[in-house]
Structure 1
Amino acid sequence: MEKIDDIIKLIDSKEEEKNQNLLLKYLKHWPWFLALCLLGAFVGYFIFRNSPSAYEVTSRLLVKNEETELSSVQAFNSPRPDARGSSNIEKQIGILQSYSLYKKALANLNWDYSWYQKRLLYYKDLYNNDPFELVIPPNAINAKGGVIEVIMLNDSEYNIQVTGETYLNGYAQEINIDKNLKFGEPFTNEFYNFTLNRKNAVVDETYMLLFNNLDAQTANYMGKTQIFTEQENSNIITISITGNALQKEADFINELTDVFIEFGMEARSSRSKSSEDFINEQLERLKNSLTTSEEKFSDYRRNNQVMNLGQEAQSVYSRLEEIEQEQYLTQLQLDYYKNLQQYIDDANKIEEMVNPSVVGITDSNLSGMLSKLMELYSRREVLSYTVQEKNPAILILEKEIKVVRDGLEESLKSQLIATESKMNSLQQRYLEIQARLRRLPETEKNLISIQREFELNNEIYTYMLQKKTEASISTASIVPEIQVIDPAIVEASRKTGPNLILNLAIGIAGGGILPFILITFLIIFNNKIETITEVEKGSRIPVLEGIMKHKYKSTLPVIQHPRSGIAESFRGLKTNINTLIEGTGSKVISINSLVPGEGKSFISANLAAVLSKTNKKVLLIGADLHKPTLHEFLKVKESIGLRDFLAGEKNIDEIITSTSIPNLNFVQTGTAIENPSDLLDGSKFEKLIDYTRSLFDYIIIDNAPLLLIPDAILTSQFSDISLFVLRIGYSHKAQIKQINKAVDFNRIERSAIVLNDTPESGYGYGYGYRKKYWKKGYGEYKIPKSSV
């Protein structure tokens, strides 16, 4: 169990270290975050100062619930007490959201064109404040979509520019116009035909004229208009628009409300109108028949000198008149049932059906189901504007329509059977009366026939007049189902933007996110070494004490700043090297790098200086025969050195020179020659190392970059240890594998990696205590130049 706990703790510590390293990668770029957050805040404030004010304009409508008699079928489909009310609200909102209502409202407002004034970051809508008077000739066509830029040059002249694309005559056409005109001069071409007169425009201001596309306007307002109920099951609808032109948005909401109410009134009065049209048609026909029958009745009585009927004839006449009137109404009802049965699946035809009461049908159950079916058809039509056929709301509505339609069909079948039976009974009675009529004298029989026709037309005409009066009263009693509680007015608007705090917050957040994304991108695609952990994971050789990053301008900070953090890191490196190199005697240390710029020569010079401070004799050899820099670190002039010895021109004692640092001697690279690498192939370099081992405690060899020149491989075979320098934030991760390969391939027995430019905390171990510790008690101390 203890081993498992140790493993878990190790995993947790590794994960914590990984997270800390990742956090450090972000934190070290804190100036980026600070600068971009400040920039974001400035941009947010700038946008706030140069953005138009936005206002929310609202209107509130009350939807009245009118109680109607519901059939058992309706009750079955509306088990909840508020089902009809909530469904009616949904229906009204669906109607309000329909494309046709928006388009009609915009067409009524007649917004054929709009004027805007160009501002820094937006275009200000000049609603009801046109800068120019626009005169459009009758039947003139102006291209939609192209933005017309108008600049007033002086009191009598203006410049007009149009660029862009428009659809004219059925295909897209490019517009490119730049022209100066005088006020009152027609602007006529293949795209436009209008005249501008001066109104209240300002010289040198830029104005934009846009001829509006009605469909585009409709889509725009449908997108920005919000329609909702304030609370669940509430019968109050709120219409809201947020925009920059207050009066414009208020006018649109009010016009949309008027069109919505008008639509509801038309829908509710359509059946009454159908009834009135049917009655008027019947009255016109009956009026002609009544006039004709009245003239025949008067002529027959005058010509045959018959004024009144006998008792038997009067009885037959009364019975016959009663039966024929009843037959007429029953036939109307029978035709009504058949038409309703035929059109029950046709929403448009059934909407044209007259009220059943017009033809004397008083069945409240049938009337209720017919009204319910019409309402459901209307709801389905409204929903079809905004949802697809497979939408759950449509599917539920279709099921409800089917239930009501099936119930209405069953009721119609039973009514048809009863009405046809009644017609047969009336026909039988009619035949019996006809038999009695045939037994009367010829004169009375003819008079009865003529009088019966007149009286029948007169009574039916009177009945229809009564129904017309009822239909007119019904139409007049129709009131809007929608009542405007609060119209949209400018005074009741609410300012919604711009918001200074929100703009600043977005700006700061954007400024913080941008460097985060950039740094994340750099981390993902960065192939450079960032932490010691990355080196330790990839290296198969020891990783020694890192050399701390410093800000000193001195080339030898271990001498100028002996108590600094970087001096401590070199002392730690010295300790680690002594630990790796076993035994006594002179120690030869080879300092290598794979590419230039990793700090190889800097480490060589400062390591040699630190070793010399321990009263050890140190020899520093500049073995970079191609691009030497060691003399610059020691502040000495170039002179004879290793090249001259290897070429046989100088002996060993001649090339070894002392330096200003006690116990530190220096072998310079020497005189420049061609192909210096060939000099290392001989045995003279080995003789140099063997000879100097007896004179010095430490020999530091500063080699050329390994990936450019293989000289380091030749010198490493004479070294006790080969150190490979990698620089944090500079060396590539792939170099770790290349060091592994170089060590394995060349069979270097003792080697290690030294990290350069490590941060002041988080990377050290061993003797290197870092800035946190060396400043405590020791502090910074700088040796005077005279002491060096």
Structure 2
Amino acid sequence: MKKANKEHEIDLRSWLFKFRSRWYLFAGFTLLALAVAYVYVKSSERIYAFHSTLLLGDQQTGSKKAQELLELLHVQDKGIKVEDEIGLLKSADMIKSALQRLDFSTSYYKVPDHWLNSGFDLIKQEQFETTPYIVELDTSGIQLVDVPFEVKVLNDKEYELTVEGENVPRYNFNRHEVLGYVPYISFTKVLKFGEPYTDENISFTLRRNKKGAGEPPAKKHYFVLNSLESQVGQRLATLNIDPIERDSRVLELSTKGTIPDKEMLFLNTLMDVYVARDLEEKNTNGRKTLEFIDSQIATLTDSLKQSKQALSSFRSANRISNIDAQANSTYERLSQLEIDKAKLSTDRQYYAAILEEIENNQGFTEAVSPAVAGVQNPILANLFLELSDLNKQKAGYKTSATQINPMLKEVDGKIASIRSAIIANLKNLISSADIAIRETEKRITTLETTLAKQPEHERRLADLKGQADFIDKKYEFLQEKRAEAAISLATNTTDKKIVDRASFWGNGPVNVKPNMIYLLALLLGLAIPAGLIVLIDNVDNTIQGKNDISSITNIPFLGVIAHGSKSDKLAVKTNPKSAIAESFRSIRINLQYLLSSTNFKVVGITSSISGEGKTFCSVNLSHEFALSGKRTILIESDMRKPTFGKYFNVSSEVGLSTYLNQDMIADEVIQKTDIENLDIIPCGPIPENAIHLLELPRMNKLIEELRGKYDFIVIDTPPIGYVSEFFVLMKHMDTNIYVVKHKYTNKELLNQVNELYAAKKIKNIHIIINDLNFDKTYEYGYKRKASYYYV
């Protein structure tokens, strides 16, 4: 748990050591960054900020009198919206109108005579009024735009004009349109100031400018002709318009550019065009209002005459007098007829209901329906009375006679006859009622027609009088409003107001601030190498020091071997006072101290892969044992890739392979060295089945025999990561040394030995770090100060 927490801790001193050890990276990147910053500061055009303010006025547009008139005429009022006005100010049409007032179609540039411009034109400066020449365009001709025209002043009268470009637009400044493209153009001509030059692609005149007489000489002068569309695009890209506060009608206009006079002139002209256009729109609205009133007055004059003439003609034609008495008499007669019509309609409905009951109700012949109680017709009433008497007779006969009784049949016949008479009588009554109703309706229609004529005359007369009065009042109203609109148009003013004219914004350029740029370059010069070091350190998955060992494995750490020359293979012998010799001396002492309680003799030295220096460690550790007075023998068990020939003058004809493969004794394969107390057994001829030889009982016999003759037996074993010989030899060893190389061994290679150690399949194993450079690791940086102890 403690180890996991340490993985997330940041060792600042360790990182400072890593940064300090690579100081040259910081120095190089810092110098490079400062050099780039210097070039940027010198070559960048200075861009300045400018601003102005504009008041939108009240929420009405146009003449106030016209607005009042439009309100009375129920015309919808449209107030100012700040967003709409901002959109209008930033519209391409508004900017185009402002640019057409200005002479920005030609942009002048110079390339100063500076050492940065010796190879390339890095520093360029735009000029406005201090140019050594002025270009006068012939707008009726064709011009080449968006291509530089280089001008070299030869003397007061002549200049050299050079132009070169591809796909250059041919532009008409009168119509503001591109007429085509020139695929390629290149020429140099000597021309005279003040004389027009015209060809199929260009037409202008260059004149000397007195304002530019005192300008210092430059490496190059050139100008570019700009189409109106490109100028509008440039202005749209730099122009910003915002209210100074939310819901405020004061707008702040800001822009950026390299020429202060040019940018302020543009802002002021844009505001002037906006205000002038607003006044023109108001005047236009006022004139339209006056024209509208005049047209209405002209129409009302004719209408007034016509209405008065119509009123007089109507009175004469209809001889209208007092018609109230006639109207009352006609209303009384009409009311009486409506009552008669209602009575006739009721009687008819009554007769129709009786007829329907008689025709549909079969039992009606046996009993009189209650509906007939109110019958007023005497004939019909008598028939119903007769029918009632016959029904009574029939009821009497039924009590004492059968159905075939002659008297009963006679009564039934009479009942049927009377029933037919009643139906015929009802139909006649209904028909008579229909005739009477139609006649009454005709009389009602006649009276209504007569009555309708009288109020129509009165209504028509009232309409004519009202229309004449309305036209007369409207005519007087419009005459009054016409006078007001004429006064308003004569005194019309704009509601837009320029509050602040264009001025500088800030204390200097907004794009180039040397102190800040140099500070940023310095920070980048330090941050980039620091980031690279951090990145490399995180990407590098090799062993960097003891801390890496302790973080990825629990195997005990024995010590480190100092970094040395590759040619110094027997460092313990050739340079006994070196840091490498001292490292092996320290490992030998640590090993003896840790295993003092055990009677260890056999030391196995291995590693993960080839190249980590296990043979180098085996040879020098054996030499250190021998120098301490211990009889030591070194066995080369790596029979796949023998390397003892690089360290000792040995014979490769006999060795471990011949001992295991043939019937030889140990003394025949043991070879003496020029080092006292140190013998070796090289691998001998390389066998085809190395692992099988190591598994033979003779290997165990050899180790046991050597235990009796030597104090220490050091076995240089094959790497664990490649072959399996180490696991065969492991049973013979009293202790094992696992070699990892500084900044060479990958951390993941320790997974295998970690698993073996965790499963307790390896006993007494220790780790050492080989080839550790004290100057490149913070953990052992203190040993650099002890260099005077070593030779």
Deviates more, 1:156-165 or 1:21-30: 21-30
Distance apart, 1:101 and its partner CA? 2.4
Residues 542, 751 of structure 1: 8 Å contact kept = yes
| Counterpart-to-counterpart distance in 2, 1:690 and 1:590 | 15
Deviates more, 1:273-282 or 1:702-711: 702-711
Task: Give the equivalent residue in structure 2 for 1:126.
Answer: 127
Distance apart, 1:286 and its partner CA? 9.7
Which consecutive residues of structure 2, in runs of 5 or more, have no partner in the other structure? 72-77, 112-116, 313-459
Matched, 1:222 2:236: yes
1:43 is matched by which residue type in structure 2?
V
Residues 564, 774 of structure 1: 8 Å contact kept = no
Distance apart, 1:257 and its partner CA? 1.1
Distance apart, 1:593 and its partner CA? 2.7
> CA 1:476–1:535 in 2, change beyond 3 Å: closer, same or farther?
farther
Distance apart, 1:175 and its partner CA? 6.9
Residues 60, 484 of structure 1: 8 Å contact kept = yes
1:542 is matched by which residue type in structure 2?
I
Give the alignment of 1:179-578 within 5 angstroms: 179-183=186-190, 192-194=201-203, 210-228=224-242, 236-279=250-293, 281=295, 427-428=464-465, 470-488=484-502, 494-523=508-537, 525-530=539-544, 532=546, 534-536=548-550, 538-539=552-553, 542-547=555-560, 549-550=562-563, 555=569, 570=584, 573-574=587-588, 577-578=591-592
Deviates more, 1:577-586 or 1:244-253: 577-586
| Counterpart-to-counterpart distance in 1, 2:180 and 2:667 | 89
Question: SS of the counterpart of 2:751?
Answer: helix
Question: How many residues in Structure 1 have an aligned counterpart in Structure 2?
Answer: 598
Residues 150, 162 of structure 2: 8 Å contact kept = yes
TM-score by length of 1: 0.60
Matched, 1:736 2:729: no
Task: Give the equivalent residue in structure 1 for 2:611.
Answer: 597
1:104 is matched by which residue type in structure 2?
S
Task: Give the equivalent residue in structure 1 for 2:52.
Answer: 59
Q: 2:651 aligns with which of 630, 640, 659?
A: 640
Matched, 1:755 2:748: no
1:507 is matched by which residue type in structure 2?
A
| Counterpart-to-counterpart distance in 2, 1:111 and 1:278 | 42
2:651 is matched by which residue type in structure 1?
I
> CA 1:599–1:782 in 2, change beyond 3 Å: closer, same or farther?
same
> CA 1:772–1:188 in 2, change beyond 3 Å: closer, same or farther?
same
Instruction: State the Cα deviation string for residues 519-556 of structure 1 (Å, max 9, x = none).
Output: 454455444344555545554x7242341554678556
| Counterpart-to-counterpart distance in 2, 1:675 and 1:166 | 82
Task: Give the equivalent residue in structure 2 for 1:44.
Answer: 37
| Counterpart-to-counterpart distance in 1, 2:721 and 2:5 | 38
Question: SS of the counterpart of 1:48?
Answer: helix
Residues 54, 498 of structure 2: 8 Å contact kept = yes
Distance apart, 1:31 and its partner CA? 4.4
**Structure showing greater Rg:** 2
Q: 1:96 aligns with which of 60, 68, 89?
A: 89
Distance apart, 1:606 and its partner CA? 3.7
Question: SS of the counterpart of 2:743?
Answer: coil
Task: Give the equivalent residue in structure 1 for 2:316.
Answer: none
Residues 110, 218 of structure 2: 8 Å contact kept = no
| Counterpart-to-counterpart distance in 1, 2:596 and 2:198 | 99
Residues 548, 757 of structure 1: 8 Å contact kept = yes
Residues 135, 207 of structure 2: 8 Å contact kept = no
Question: SS of the counterpart of 1:254?
Answer: helix
Instruction: State the Cα deviation string for residues 421-442 of structure 1 (Å, max 9, x = none).
Output: xx9978437889xxxxxxxxxx
Q: 1:656 aligns with which of 658, 661, 671?
A: 671
> CA 1:705–1:250 in 2, change beyond 3 Å: closer, same or farther?
same
Task: Give the equivalent residue in structure 2 for 1:782.
Answer: 790
Question: SS of the counterpart of 1:111?
Answer: coil
2:186 is matched by which residue type in structure 1?
K
Identity %: 22
1:56 is matched by which residue type in structure 2?
A
Residues 623, 642 of structure 1: 8 Å contact kept = no
1:729 is matched by which residue type in structure 2?
K
1:726 is matched by which residue type in structure 2?
V
1:544 is matched by which residue type in structure 2?
F
| Counterpart-to-counterpart distance in 1, 2:289 and 2:550 | 95
Matched, 1:619 2:633: yes
Distance apart, 1:253 and its partner CA? 0.8
| Counterpart-to-counterpart distance in 1, 2:547 and 2:46 | 55
Residues 56, 249 of structure 2: 8 Å contact kept = yes
Question: SS of the counterpart of 1:487?
Answer: strand
Residues 63, 236 of structure 1: 8 Å contact kept = yes
TM-score by length of 2: 0.59
| Counterpart-to-counterpart distance in 2, 1:659 and 1:29 | 43
Residues 183, 198 of structure 1: 8 Å contact kept = no
Distance apart, 1:508 and its partner CA? 2.3
Give the alignment of 1:22-33 within 5 angstroms: 29=22, 31-33=24-26
Question: SS of the counterpart of 2:733?
Answer: coil
Residues 54, 242 of structure 1: 8 Å contact kept = yes
